[in-house]
Amino acid sequence: IVFVAGLSRVGACRTRVGGGEGAHYPLNSMASLCFRLQTFTAWCNSHLRKAGTQIENIEEDFRDGLKLMLLLEVISGERLPKPERGKMRVHKINNVNKALDFIASKGVKLVSIGAEEIVDGNAKMTLGMIWTIILRFAIQDISVEETSAKEGLLLWCQRKTAPYKNVNVQNFHISWKDGLAFNALIHRHRPELIDYDKLRKDDPVTNLNNAFEVAERYLDIPKMLDAEGEFMTYVSCFYHAFSGAQKAETAANRICKVLAVNQENEHLMEDYEKLASDLLEWIRRTIPWLENRAPEKTMTEMQQKLEDFRDYRRVHKPPKVQEKCQLEINFNTLQTKLRLSNRPAFMPSEGRMVSDINGAWHKLEGAEKGYEEWLLNEIRRLERLDHLAEKFRQKAAIHESWTDGKEAMLTQKDYETATLSEIKALLKKHEAFESDLAAHQDRVEQIAAIAQELNELDYYDSPSVNARCQKICEQWDALGSLTQSRRESLERTEKQLESIDELYLEYAKRAAPFNNWMEGAMEDLQDMFIVHNIEEIQGLITAHDQFKSTLPEANKERESIQAIQAEVQKIAQYNGIKLAGNNPYTTITPQSIDKKWEKVQQLVPQRDQALQEELARQQSNDHLRRQFANQANMIGPWIQNKMEEIGRISIEMNGTLEDQLTHLRQYEQSIIEYKPNIDQLEGDHQLIQEALIFDNKYTAYTMEHLRVGWEQLLTTIARTINEIENQILTRDAKGISQEQLHEYRTSFNHFDKDHSGVLHAEEFKACLISLGYDVENNKQRTGIMDGDDFRALLISTGNSLGDAEFARIMGIVDPNNSGAVTFQAFIDFMSRETTDTDTADQVIASFKILAGDKNYITAEELRRELPPDQAEYCIARMAPYTGPDAVPGALDYMSFSTALYGESDL
């Protein structure tokens, strides 16, 4: 059809022939009628071709009503009643009536158009009916900013052609005659089809032909024009063609957005799984090391274990604490994003839940605490063992030195050839030996007791200790038997012997215990000691001072014993007696007594020095205790205070969420800046451990307690920041206003009586009621309730809140049946109830547009409408479509869409 700009208007008046109420179309001449027939035929065929058919003669082909009903189904997208297939007139009239009834059901009043006229092939009535259909389904559906159909279409044309020169659309006749407006519409939507800059305003025929041919070839718009040059019908075809493309583009964009969210969530899930797996693997490797209680033999080896444990606490564990905290934050953020996008909650692989990680972490800390206690106990045990082993060796050496030669002495037969005086001397000497033997009994018992304690403490060299102790005990038993045997022999000859010199005897009796006292004193003065505090060393110093106070009396005893020996010499000289050798009753000489006394005198100041050095060490240890305690007594309350402040900040509502987030991050920075104090305290604690200090009376805080508190503080502030971030995410995604969020927080805090950060079921119920939430009707009440209204609401909802509806709500906000509702779960619920969200239905509708209203979609259509990566994402995950209308390669986009939202098992 070639438009002629000067098309004559024969008969300017409009003739009302029929159609909808107020519907007019011109039939001024036979030429106009023919033109209208051609135009309407082309318009009808542009739609009927979608159903695989078309018409040749508009007044003939609609007479049986079959193609008329099909045309209405195509352009309305609805099903009409089943047509009658008979060829009788009544069947045709019934079919046409069904079509006319359908048009009337759309609010169109048909005037002077009846089924008989259509069946009879009345051209004017048929054209009137088609014009009514065009008005209702091609033009009247157009709505731009709530204007009328014609005005809306005109406004749409003006907006689309506004940027183009020489185009000024003011109506549907003169504004289009130069053809530029048609070309501008096409170029605006499909610029690759039109070279607009080459068109000339003074060549309307070329412009119109170009636009009509392009529209018919590429846009499936038939060549048709209004007989009077008013192009509204033809222009409406452009509107529908391009608005359909716009819908497809909008649908594709919506699907891309949904798929992008899904892909991002899948990446976050993979990251969580890997981080959780790595952390659990580290815990799995670390726990056996901490549970290993295989003791070492020496202090050096155990101290190396303690140093390895310190490296673990200082170097290896802190990054894992951060990983664990970050893992919980990532998990909470992911769950928030999933809730905000109406996706099912993320369920990690079995054994990788946050609760599983917390359980493994709790087991790790239990093993850690037990390991440190075991290390320190083992070090104490080894220290005690070293002390006891050295004490055993000293006492054993002294005893072995004393018993050397005693068996030979007890077994000699010297009394058989001795004189009476010699026999008496031997008997007295033996009595002195028995006294000495009894005095050594205590040392033997001490040696056996020390050996027994070493066995009980699992001393690594117990076999050699036991062998040496056994030898000493057996030798001691032998000495006892030999002593008894020799006494019996001496007593048999005692009647034949004279008593020996009383002075020798007195000397021997007094010298032996005094000599034993000196040996004991020397042993005590050289005895090793181990103390853990100032009180213990001061006790040893006091005991030593008491010992020193006995030395003058001991010296008098020494002088008295030496005086006895001097008296013997004096008597012998006076009586001219020649002494034959040493005192026959004892081997203890005055020289040996003086030598041992001199040794005691030397050992006393040495003991003084050792005790003073230990006192200085204990004073240094006490300084370390005070130094640690002073810091710990400040840090402990500081951590507790910060924990309480964070708790208050988390329930207060000062300023916007961004203000709160800024405040919390500044607060977090101040906590991080406090870390040097913790490090300094760790250094003090290490000095205490290296000094083997095991108690501290100046503070109730241990390093373990402060470490746990510090880690909890860092975790708590990080979690609180994450909670605010998630609230911002929820607010922005759900369109919640700051005032709404403030109202929700105020109500939540009001019923959170114990400031625990959660509401129990009854508290949550009261919180919902306080916000006017009608659980029974599942909608938000509006307005402010007075006291009577509130009591009425309590009465009316009190029961229903505890029944099925409240159980449903609790299932949403507390899916784990913990009986507690967090603030995040509360605002998620409220946002779902009060705001719109994207749904599976929306995604299905979008795919339906891309599929051309089919119940399935093909890979080719997906690749044409979506970006490559997202198209392939859909193709890989969509199941084959198995409906009755399936074709080869058909894909099921409906089950795929519902699966995105967790509503199917796909």
Give pLDDT tens digits for 682-703: 999 999 888 888 888 999 999 9
Last residue of a domain, one of 588, 604, 628: 588
Q: Is residue 413 part of a domain?
A: no
Report helix, strand and coil shares of the chain as percent, to nearest 5: 70, 0, 25
Q: 582 with 480, same domain? A: yes
Say whether 759 sits in a helix, a strand or coil. strand
The answer to whether the beta carbons of residues 137 and 164 sit under 8 Å apart is no
Inter-axis angle of helices 30-48 and 232-291, nearest 10? 20
Span of 197-201, 202-206, 795-799, 892-896 with lowest mean pLDDT: 795-799
Both tokens of 86, joined, read 């008979």
Taking only the tens place, the pLDDT of each residue in 271-315 is 999 999 999 999 999 999 888 888 777 778 878 888 888 888 889
Q: Which residue has the higher pLDDT, 4 or 393?
A: 393
Q: 440 with 556, same domain? A: yes
Q: 468 with 344, same domain? A: no
**Residue 552 to residues 549, 582, 595, Cα–Cα distance (Å):** 7, 28, 17
Q: 259 with 313, same domain? A: yes
Res 147: pLDDT: 52
Q: 362 with 466, same domain? A: no
Which pairs from 405-409 meet CB under 8 Å and 24+ separation?
Answer: 406/479, 407/475, 407/478, 407/479, 407/482, 409/433
The answer to whether the beta carbons of residues 585 and 504 sit under 8 Å apart is yes
Both tokens of 704, joined, read 């373990």
Taking only the tens place, the pLDDT of each residue in 712-728 is 999 999 988 998 888 88
pLDDT at 810 over 60: yes
Q: 714 with 820, same domain? A: yes
pLDDT at 780 over 70: no
What is the rounded (10 degree) CA torsion for 415, 416, 418, 423?
Answer: 40
Last residue of a domain, one of 552, 570, 588: 588
Q: 473 with 550, same domain? A: yes
Mean of the pLDDT values across residues 24-41?
Answer: 60
Both tokens of 674, joined, read 């406090």
Instruction: Print the domain residue range for 465.
Output: 429-588
Helices of type H across 134-231: 149-161, 180-189, 204-218
Res 712: pLDDT: 92
What CATH number corresponds to the domain at position 879?
1.10.238.10
As a whole number of angstroms, the distance between CA 279 and CA 127 comes to 78
Task: With cut-offs at 50, 70 and 90, classify the pLDDT of residue 646.
Answer: confident
- Dihedral sign for Cα 416, 422, 423, 426, please: negative
Q: 819 with 849, same domain? A: no
- Dihedral sign for Cα 846, 850, 856, 860, please: negative
The candidate with the shortest Cα–Cα distance to 328, out of 722, 662, 814, 665, is 722
- Select the highest-mean-pLDDT range: 117-121, 186-190, 377-381, 627-631: 627-631
Last residue of a domain, one of 532, 557, 588: 588
Average pLDDT of the chain to the nearest whole number: 82
pLDDT at 145 over 80: no
Q: Is residue 68 part of a domain?
A: no
As a whole number of angstroms, the distance between CA 152 and CA 114 comes to 31
Q: Is residue 704 part of a domain?
A: yes
Q: Is residue 733 part of a domain?
A: yes
Query: Exposed, middle or buried by CB within 10 Å (0-12, 13-18, 19+), for 80?
Result: middle
What CATH number corresponds to the domain at position 694?
1.20.58.60
Neighbours of 495 (CB within 10 A): 8
Q: Is residue 85 part of a domain?
A: no
Task: With cut-offs at 50, 70 and 90, classify the pLDDT of residue 1.
Answer: very low
Task: With cut-offs at 50, 70 and 90, classify the pLDDT of residue 414.
Answer: confident
Q: 457 with 522, same domain? A: yes
The candidate with the shortest Cα–Cα distance to 157, out of 133, 180, 178, is 180
Q: How many independent structural domains does the chain possess?
A: 4
Angle at 442 between CA 440 and CA 443, to 5 degrees: 65
Q: 442 with 561, same domain? A: yes
